[in-house]
Structure 1
Amino acid sequence: MSIQWDLDHSDGVDLLRLSGHLGQDALHRFTGAVDWPWARRTGPVFIDLSALRGWNTEGEAAIVDAAARLGADHGPPAMCGLGDRVAPLIATAHGLGIHPDSATTRTTLTMP
């Protein structure tokens, strides 16, 4: 199974929701998913992983890179929905805000 994604814009923040599995075969689709909000952003963009069933090492590295890219110039890189999943690359990513849910992430990114 590949990944699916959708983008939600609310309160000046874009939320990129991912679902499915992010493996080697889905990296190209994931890049397209990240390119869409990155090209159109006017404010912060964050990634919601809560519906993503899993990823391999390459997928996890792509998530970290995407979060950093989406956070550039428009707020700190951020994501939510990791839950209790083990993700060493995500957990050790420098400057990446990891939040429990999208509401918390959105609030953090819109605070003055």
Structure 2
Amino acid sequence: MHLPRRMNRAATAFRPERVRIIVAALASGAAVLALTGCAGFEYKEDICSSGEYPVLAVGDTGSACVSDKEDPPAGFVRYPEGKVPQQVDDTWDVYWDTHTLDKDGNIIDIPDAG
């Protein structure tokens, strides 16, 4: 009785067809990863760099970043506690696009902003 060539090989023998399938599967997985990129991972840019804090222009929607070692420059104040934007387009960053502080520290709407 003649056995097919496959049956004569040891179980651990090198099998080119399996290698091709594994390589194809790995290549497909890599392609999917490359095409989807980091879907599900969202990058958020910080408002200020490390060692800085954001300040708001009085009477305007302008803002700036100031060194932790310095006071706000003339015409700027610290954001109210708990209402400080941390990342670009976070809740407070968007809020302060249409609001500001008056000279007395009261929050006011900026009707022409946004």
Query: Which TM-score bucket, shorter chain as reference?
Result: under 0.3
TM-score, with structure 2 as normaliser:
0.25
The answer to which structure has the higher strand fraction is 1
Q: Which has more helix, going by share of residues?
A: 1
The structure with higher relative contact order (CA 8 Å, sep 6+) is: 1
TM-score (norm: length of structure 1): 0.25
